[in-house]
Structure 1
């Protein structure tokens, strides 16, 4: 698809788009970003990677990592029976009127932070201040110019407007309805860089891919194996934040050549088994006009590339290494939960 000029009209939301972005490339109202590249032909090519019929679960248990040291706002899920506390619907007899039946039933509910464990980020997760009007007035917007307070609605705006809060546009349900199934390509960053924290830039990534014979094509879902979730699982639900902060590889979101490669590669999504895919906090620049999460800014805000975090890639990586492979069929739909800005996911790799 040819890249359009930076200044153009796209419906009513914007007349100016970020440099190097894909805004408008898939239509003025697009909410799928580069997931649009996963066409039926690309799905068939992904299915063709299956030769053994063996599957691998790529999700952590959703109560891991445990605690809230990775993000103080995100806590483990709370699983409870439905019904009142004095009469929970768990190992309960099914009764009606004066009769009880032979059925014994359980029914439960969960309170969950949607981005606590293995997850997808939607494009409503991270936006930026940007001058979409071209009049020198930066305003908070998201991918394809969707507006904070209008399209992505917080509790205050919802109360003022008398509407429900949430992502009225760019919610995670769009990816679920489209289906996230395509060819996954795995790059092993644990073997070359070990378990100490290492910022992976363009040169590092290219050397690792070349050494492993990895090639990436349009619409592929790039998966980065660092070993981080193995460190987490070894902590038994009581993670040590100081240890995790210095463990395993993470992408250097300040590396301009790396960001340009992500743009040029036309991958449809980017996944890692670490927290946030990129190093956080990112290196500070001299300028104040900078994103604190530069890779999130580049992928979610500018390109429309979903990010997957905290995936369990260890078993798959070991199998692919033994088989001399790096490609597989990846099936990873998020929850079809309207208005959500992220979602837990139980991805399945089929080899």
Structure 2
């Protein structure tokens, strides 16, 4: 790797790219790998019929952790009992009263999926679509095609934090594909081709618990770029990457200082769907107790018209 590449264009010049693999109109990328066989593999991994939901709460009273530059979702009551008591609202015919509310926030707040066109460089999105197609809304590679397709397959939990003997990884701590393979081996679980990878760092738990905070020097832990890592993801045909961090990768690359390189290398170039800020702590605790780290992952983001992303509350069944 060039010791000091100046652009993503030069850094990824020799990295794999899947544009056109599923035709010129494709907008779901690596989700094309999830067919009937992969769904059946996920179903076959269910042994206890126990379910875990992987979404985090949003619009909490204490404020939600969000990536720097965004702000937490906000929740407003529009109608409640106090409104009826004050005479602002009146019971429906027959006597029914009601509560109603309003939530506003970023599409990438809380647990969410990124659209494949969410980030780009060289004025080009996933599959070669022009960056101008984002103007006024995602007319190409938005979240709607992913939401309509859904994400269902065999999920594999890789508890990197526990593997390293920590409650949570530290700021800027990195993970390679070799770490993923070694963690799987230690856990006794196999990363099959087309597995949905669920990587636990403990970071969201640390943010929600107040042990870590969002600051101007924010630098979260996670996967770090190398050409070998990108080639491994390509060869393994990974359809979806799920982590308990805000951006699914370390914020800055230690070697180059570039920001969010894997959004370019994995999402933009390979069409891998990113699911970020998943709640994996409860699942990890149970998996460590009974040594079952795989199961059926299923979920679909909200169908946000022309959206850059969508909230999701995945269900994992094991």
Normalising by structure 2, what TM-score? 0.85
Please give the alpha-carbon distance, in whole angstroms, between the structure 1 residues aligned to 2:280 and 2:198.
8
- Alpha-carbon distance, 1:47 to partner: 1.4
- Alpha-carbon distance, 1:243 to partner: 11
Contact 1:123 1:306 in 2 (8 A): yes
Contact 1:93 1:105 in 2 (8 A): no
- Which residue does the alignment assign to 1:117? 110
- Which residue does the alignment assign to 1:93? 90
Please give the alpha-carbon distance, in whole angstroms, between the structure 2 residues aligned to 1:338 and 1:75.
21
Q: Deviations over 1:170-191 (max 9, x none)?
A: 1111111111111111111011
Please give the alpha-carbon distance, in whole angstroms, between the structure 2 residues aligned to 1:48 and 1:244.
44
The structure with more radius of gyration: 1
Contact 1:77 1:110 in 2 (8 A): yes
- Which residue does the alignment assign to 1:77? 73
Question: Compared with structure 1, are the counterparts of its residues 244 and 232 closer, same or farther at alpha carbon in structure 2 (3 Å cutoff)?
Answer: farther
- Which residue does the alignment assign to 1:8? none
- Which residue does the alignment assign to 2:188? 213
1:22 aligns to 2:18 (yes or no): yes
1:324 aligns to 2:299 (yes or no): no
**Taking CA–CA contacts closer than 8 Å with sequence separation of 6 or more, which of the two structures ends up with the larger relative contact order?**
2
Contact 2:158 2:183 in 1 (8 A): yes
**1:101 match: secondary structure:** coil
Q: How does 1:267-286 map to 2 (within 5 A)?
A: 267-285=238-256
- Alpha-carbon distance, 1:233 to partner: 2.0
- Which residue does the alignment assign to 2:10? none
Please give the alpha-carbon distance, in whole angstroms, between the structure 1 residues aligned to 2:308 and 2:219.
28
- Which residue does the alignment assign to 2:213? 240
Question: Compared with structure 1, are the counterparts of its residues 91 and 74 closer, same or farther at alpha carbon in structure 2 (3 Å cutoff)?
Answer: farther
**Coordinate RMSD, CA, aligned:** 2.9
- Alpha-carbon distance, 1:51 to partner: 2.1
Please give the alpha-carbon distance, in whole angstroms, between the structure 1 residues aligned to 2:284 and 2:208.
16
- Which residue does the alignment assign to 2:4? none
Q: Deviations over 1:198-248 (max 9, x none)?
A: 211233233222222232223211000111111122129xx623599477x
1:199 aligns to 2:174 (yes or no): yes
Please give the alpha-carbon distance, in whole angstroms, between the structure 2 residues aligned to 1:123 and 1:18.
21
- Alpha-carbon distance, 1:101 to partner: 3.4
1:347 aligns to 2:314 (yes or no): yes
Question: Compared with structure 1, are the counterparts of its residues 90 and 28 closer, same or farther at alpha carbon in structure 2 (3 Å cutoff)?
Answer: farther
Q: How does 1:1-351 map to 2 (within 5 A)?
A: 19-63=15-59, 67=63, 70-82=66-78, 92-95=89-92, 100-129=93-122, 140-149=123-132, 151-153=133-135, 165-193=136-164, 194=166, 195=168, 196-197=170-171, 198-235=173-210, 240-241=213-214, 245=218, 249-253=221-225, 255-285=226-256, 292-351=259-318
Please give the alpha-carbon distance, in whole angstroms, between the structure 2 residues aligned to 1:33 and 1:65.
37
Please give the alpha-carbon distance, in whole angstroms, between the structure 1 residues aligned to 2:44 and 2:161.
27
Please give the alpha-carbon distance, in whole angstroms, between the structure 2 residues aligned to 1:109 and 1:91.
17
Between the two proteins, the alignment pairs up a number of residues equal to 299
Normalising by structure 1, what TM-score? 0.77
Structure 2 residue runs without a partner (length 5+) = 1-12
Question: Compared with structure 1, are the counterparts of its residues 25 and 82 closer, same or farther at alpha carbon in structure 2 (3 Å cutoff)?
Answer: same
Contact 1:90 1:105 in 2 (8 A): no
Contact 2:15 2:230 in 1 (8 A): no
Contact 1:65 1:117 in 2 (8 A): no
More strand by share: 1
Q: Which moved more, 1:17-26 or 1:219-228?
A: 17-26
Contact 2:219 2:250 in 1 (8 A): no
Please give the alpha-carbon distance, in whole angstroms, between the structure 1 residues aligned to 2:198 and 2:87.
39
